Amino acid sequence: MTKTNAVRMLDRLQIAYELREYAVDPDDLSAETVAAKIGLPPGQVFKTLVAVGDRHGVCLAVIPGDAQLDLKALARATGDRKIDTAPLKEVQRLTGYVRGAVTALAGKKDYPVYVDETAQLYEVISVSAGQRGMQILLAPDDYLRAVVGRYVPIAKPKS
8-40 pLDDT, tens digit per residue, is 999 999 999 999 999 999 999 999 999 999 999
For 1-7, what is the mean pLDDT? 89
What integer best gives the mean pLDDT of the chain?
97
pLDDT of residue 36: 96
Q: What is the pLDDT of residues 100-143, one digit of tens each?
A: 999 999 999 999 999 999 999 999 999 999 999 999 999 999 99
Question: Residue 63 pairs with which residues in a beta bridge?
Answer: 47
Q: Is the pLDDT of residue 1 over 80?
A: no
Sign of CA dihedral 22, 116, 30, 131: negative
If pLDDT is split at 50, 70 and 90, which confidence band does 159 have? confident
What percent of the chain shows pLDDT beyond 70?
99
pLDDT band, residue 155 (cuts 50/70/90): very high
Of the pLDDT bands very low, low, confident and very high (cuts 50, 70, 90), residue 56 is very high
Banded model confidence at residue 2, pLDDT cuts 50, 70, 90 = confident
Q: Which fold has domain 5-154?
A: YbaK protein (3.90.960)
Residue 143 and residue 139: Cα distance in Å, rounded? 6
Query: Is the pTM value of this prediction over 0.95?
Result: yes
Q: Whole-angstrom Cα distance, residue 27 to residue 43?
A: 21
Residue 98 binned pLDDT confidence (cut-offs 50, 70, 90): very high
Hey, where are the domains in the chain?
5-154
Look at residue 96 and tell me whether its pLDDT is greater than 80.
yes
Q: By the 8 A CB rule, do 91 and 102 touch?
A: yes
